[in-house]
Amino acid sequence: MASSQGKNELRFADWMAALPASIHRTPLTNLAIPGSHDSFSFYIDEASPVGPEQPETVQNFVSVFGTVAKKLMRKWLATQTMNFTSQLESGIRYFDLRISTKPRDPDNELYFAHGLFSAKVKEGLEEINAFLADHPKEVVFLDFNHFYGMQKYHHEKLVQMLKDIYGNKMCPAIFAHEVSLQYLWEKEHQVLVFYHSPVALEVPFLWPGQMMPAPWANTTDPEKLIQFLQASITERRKKGSFFISQVVLTPKASTVVKGVASGLRETITER
């Protein structure tokens, strides 16, 4: 069993490199590339403050119930159980990244965040880069799609961080249909960075957020989700950009209240 599992991990870790030659020049917009939702949420720190994007009701809930409230929150906020390296080894190539400053943080660090704070952004990006160094034909999509509590200098800090970590691995923004594996391999690019902020217009290696739209079904009903995905795929194929099919069910407030102690996995995942 262990031997078989090891072979699978190796195959998934280099699945782009192993694609047949007939696909090498196919635009990446025409390929289905596996990704993860709230990709960083394998490490959500229950000891952290509540994220600045959370409504006042959640802030009040935590202020009253403290650690117990955060433990319950984590059950609903953690959408991943694997770290970045394990996700990459399993074949994930698209990462959904949400960035925040932390209130009263003396080091003025940037963190991944989803309700509560996760790992430092720098550590996560370095982990991804370490994988890319070992797998030179694999390509990742980094989608920075939410920013919380960030001022201009925070964006400058993040842009510099990307430069320092990835350097020439990043593919400058061009027409989406021009990007194929062959093109990226020839240029030795491995990273496409999508940045949902006007800052993207000022930096050549940042792809504007509209080049990676992510229509959201916002439903707990699997049938409605499937209908939404089918409609959005048909529509997005006409646009000529990358796009995300969010195959995720979203719990409503009533869903959380009914299953407050059980969590996302038990309440939603099986659907």
Angle at 138 between CA 202 and CA 236, to 5 degrees: 60
Q: Where are the alpha helices (DSSP H) in 14-151?
A: 56-77, 84-89, 121-134
Residues 6+ apart with CB under 8 A from 151: none
Residue 135 is among the residues annotated as catalytic for this protein: no
Residue 114 is among the residues annotated as catalytic for this protein: yes
119 in helix, strand or coil? strand
Contacts 24+ apart (CB under 8 A), 225-228: 225/249
Spacing of C-alpha 96 from chain mean position: 1
CB 230 within 8 A of CB 224: no
Based on its alpha-carbon atoms, the radius of gyration of the chain, rounded to whole angstroms, reads: 19
Cα distance between residue 81 and residue 138, in whole Å: 22
Cα distance between residue 152 and residue 197, in whole Å: 11
CB 44 within 8 A of CB 83: no
Q: Which of 114, 135, 154, 196 is catalytic?
A: 114
Handedness of CA 41, 47, 50, 52 (dihedral sign): negative
Q: Which residues are catalytic?
A: 37, 114
